[in-house]
Amino acid sequence: MGLGGRFDTPDFEERTYRYSVKCDREQFNRIEVAARKAGVSVTTFVQQHFETILDEPADEDGFAAGSFARAHGISEPAARLWNAMRNNADSAKVISGAVRDLAEMAKIAAGRGSDCLAELLGREAGQADRARRQPSPEHLSRDGAIMTRPETEALHWLREHGGDGVFAGRDHQALLAQGETAPFKRSTWNNLARLGRVEFYGKRRMRIVEWPR
């Protein structure tokens, strides 16, 4: 259930909803292996698939509007319009036809065709500016989220200390690597694990997750 203020007050804001699912050990192990191959945590892997359960099935060419929209930061109607434009383009990638015809091909309301086209053009126009301000891969999580400065510094420290460490001490909050204690809180390492940049394994051990840059 969403957490926040009272339901009957205007400042109530839905935060998040949580679902619990069950699986047997065999399925859990398969999910864990699949998540490891994908280079993300099990939680992230399950969340990514959960977000697709209401998506429309992919078409005969393998295009899925929901996943395409999420990957490119656009609405699903805009994604369907993009696909209709792609399918209508000739060998020189020239698109002909009225917007309303493309909207009909995309199965969106004719009145929304112009809005979706403006959305696509606006995203295209902003790409150059975003590229100039794009952070380096060292400052990104797997899903493209920008890491905080402590998280970036912690990851750099661990990389400079062999990329592998063990949590020690009475409460297992301090990370040791190559004989040195990391000057970062356990919560920072937990956040990095959630972002897919490190992983916990073995008995209180942690290592950097390498991924293509």
> pLDDT (tens digit, 9 = 90+) per residue, 125-182?
555 444 444 444 455 555 555 677 888 889 899 999 999 999 988 788 899 999 899 9
Query: pLDDT for 48-79, tens place per residue?
Result: 777 777 766 767 777 888 878 877 788 888 88
User: pTM for the complete prediction?
Assistant: 0.40
* Tokens found for residue 143: 């899903």
More confident residue, 8 or 153: 153
pLDDT for res 126: 52
Mention every residue, 6+ apart, whose C-beta is less than 8 A from residue 4.
Answer: 12, 13, 14, 15
- The three-class DSSP label of residue 165 is strand
Q: Which amino acid is at 27?
A: Q
Per-residue pLDDT averaged across 27-51, rounded?
Answer: 84
Q: Are 44 and 194 in contact (CB under 8 A)?
A: yes
Mention every residue, 6+ apart, whose C-beta is less than 8 A from residue 76.
Answer: 65, 66, 69
Position 28 pLDDT exceeds 80: yes
Position 14 pLDDT exceeds 70: no
Per-residue pLDDT averaged across 68-93, rounded?
Answer: 84
Question: Can you give the residue ranges of every domain in the chain?
Answer: 1-50, 65-132, 138-208
pLDDT for res 55: 65
- The three-class DSSP label of residue 82 is helix
CB atoms within 10 A of CB 162: 11
CB atoms within 10 A of CB 155: 22
pLDDT for res 89: 82
* Tokens found for residue 147: 């890491």
Per-residue pLDDT averaged across 191-211, rounded?
Answer: 86
Percent helix, strand and coil across the chain, each rounded to 5? 45, 10, 45
Per-residue pLDDT averaged across 100-108, rounded?
Answer: 87
* pLDDT, the chain, mean: 77
Position 20 pLDDT exceeds 90: no
| Strand partners for 207 | 164, 199
How distant is the alpha carbon of residue 160 from its chain centre?
27
Structural element, H or E, at residue 166: strand 164-168
pLDDT for res 124: 59
Q: Residue 98 phi/psi, 5° resolution?
A: -80, 155
* Tokens found for residue 93: 């990638």
